């Protein structure tokens, strides 16, 4: 999950039309950050019954 956030920021920083600060402001306005403990709690300690899929970026939980 954090990998995806870094990819978004990296892409925005490379945008030649915007300065670094402007790119960060645009790209981080709607980013939600969750602690590991919050994710553990929300997924019942990553229990298999809360798993809804997976792919190249990892497992997806309810």
Q: pLDDT class for 33, splitting at 50, 70, 90?
A: confident
SS3 of residue 56 by DSSP: coil
Q: Are residues 2 and 24 in the same domain?
A: yes
Which structural domain range is residue 1 located in? Answer: 1-31
Q: pLDDT class for 3, splitting at 50, 70, 90?
A: very low
Domains held by the chain: number:
2
Spatial CB neighbours of 41, under 8 Å, sequence gap ≥ 6: none
Q: Are residues 40 and 27 in the same domain?
A: no
pTM of the model: 0.49
Closest C-alpha among 21, 61, 18, 17 to residue 41 = 61
pLDDT, tens only, 41-51: 999 999 999 99
Spell out the alpha helix ranges (H) of 1-62: 2-13, 20-28, 36-42
Quote the CA–CA distance of 51 and 59 in Å, as a whole number.
Answer: 7
Mean pLDDT in residue range 4-12: 57
């Amino acid at each position: 999950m954090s990998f995806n956030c870094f990819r978004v920021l990296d892409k925005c920083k490379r945008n030649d039309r915007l300065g670094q600060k402007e790119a960060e402001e645009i790209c981080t306005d709607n980013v939600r950050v969750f602690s590991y403990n919050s994710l553990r709690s929300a997924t019942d300690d990553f229990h298999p019954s809360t798993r809804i899929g997976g792919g190249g970026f990892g497992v997806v939980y309810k």
